[in-house]
Amino acid sequence: ELKVEQNPLFLSMQEGKNYTIYCNYSTTSDRLYWYRQDPGKSLESLFVLLSNGAVKQEGRLMASLDTKARLSTLHITAAVHDLSATYFCAVDSSGAGSYQLTFGKGTKLSVIP
Partner 1 sequence: EPEVTQTPSHQVTQMGQEVILRCVPISNHLYFYWYRQILGQKVEFLVSFYNNEISEKSEIFDDQFSVERPDGSNFTLKIRSTKLEDSAMYFCASMGQDPYEQYFGPGTRLTVT
Residues in touch with partner 1 (CB under 8 A): 31, 33, 35, 41-45, 48, 50, 88, 90, 92-94, 96-106
Least separation in angstroms between residue 90's CB and partner 1 is 7
Least separation in angstroms between residue 108's CB and partner 1 is 10
Least separation in angstroms between residue 4's CB and partner 1 is 9
Q: Say if CB 35 and CB 88 are below 8 A apart.
A: yes
DSSP 33: E
Considering the complex, state which of residue 33 and residue 79 has its C-beta at the smaller distance from partner 1.
33
Considering the complex, state which of residue 43 and residue 80 has its C-beta at the smaller distance from partner 1.
43
CA geometry: angle 82, 87, 91, nearest 5 deg: 150
Instruction: Give the integer Cα–Cα distance in Å for 29 and 79.
Output: 30
State whether residue 113 is helix, strand or coil. Answer: coil
